[in-house]
Structure 1
Amino acid sequence: MRLLLFFTVLCFMGCYQVERNCKAFRTGHFYSEVVIDGSIYRSEFKRLDDLQIETYNNRIDSSRLRWINDCEVVFKTINPKNMAERKDIHLKILATTDTSYTFEYAYVGETKKQKGIAFTMD
């Protein structure tokens, strides 16, 4: 009986797929929230296909975008002000809804990843 229950649950889990309509978030006006060490960090950004302009703490940053595929992108800061800003950031969209997407990101080459959520503003 337990074996039958196990295979039934396994079957339903195998059929479930997370929705990822990443193309819908390639361009637009968004805001994001990331929790780091218990603090919420919010930013607002406008994204074109190859450019993102972000406002965080009343500071504007611009990055060039290189899309790896529909759900992954690498950000390169256009005018870095310090060493940390010289590092490229890899972002991967994990799941989407009609008005938001969940993502993870890290500096390219690093294994520690942060997660966040972005919402459309249009």
Structure 2
Amino acid sequence: MKPILILFLLTLASCMPSKTECNCTDFKTGKFEFTKEIDGKKITSTFERTDKLQVETFQGKTDSASVRWINDCEFILQKINPKNSAEKKAISMKIVATKEKTYTFEFSFVGDAKKQQGFVTKLD
């Protein structure tokens, strides 16, 4: 009976997440850069975030979204002037790890189970 208990405890321990640094308050405001590769091309977006507003510039176009913080690591983005029904959907953002001047985040449309990940660098 003891070997089964030990095996169970080892299995349980292997499923526990590792402790990840997460100093989210360092990334609530400031100037940031988001870079992602899509179809073999590197795209870059820059944005500035205050407690209540995020202004993003991508390919020469600037757009604004309201920011509503749920806690120190999670917030909701809502475009201020959506141009179509897709842009009307709010986006849930969650910072999942931080390191020096960077953070990793998960995002999805509010209510959508499919999550994507991104990586951001703080510029200031």
**Structure 1 runs, 4 residues or longer, greater than 2 Å off:** 13-16, 33-42
Listed as ranges, the matches of 1:1-122 within 5 Å are 7=10, 10=13, 16-35=18-37, 40-122=42-124
Counterpart Cα distance in 2 of 1:22 and 1:121: 15
Higher CA-based Rg: 2
What do residues 20-64 of structure 1 show as CA deviations (whole Å, max 9, x unaligned)?
000000000000124556654421000001100001121111000
Letter in 2 for 1:69: N
Gaps of 5+ in 1: none
TM-score under structure 1 normalisation? Answer: 0.84
- Matched positions, count: 118
**Is contact 1:26-1:48 (8 Å) kept?**
yes
Letter aligned with residue 74 of structure 2: E
Q: Is the 8 A contact 1:35 1:115 kept in 2?
A: no
Identity score, percent: 45
Amino acid at match of 1:84: A
Identify which range, 92-101 or 40-49, moves more after superposition: 40-49
Q: Is the Cα contact below 8 Å between 1:91 and 1:105 reproduced in 2?
A: yes
Structure 1 residues 43 and 52: alpha-carbon distance in aligned structure 2, compared to 1, 3 A threshold: same
Corresponding letter in the other structure for 1:67: W
Q: TM-score if structure 2 supplies the norm length?
A: 0.83
| Whole-angstrom distance in 2 between the partners of 1:116 and 1:71 | 14
Say whether the 8 Å CA contact 1:35–1:116 is kept in structure 2. no
Q: Which ranges of structure 2 fall in alignment gaps of 5 or more residues?
A: 1-5
Alpha-carbon distance, 1:118 to partner = 0.4
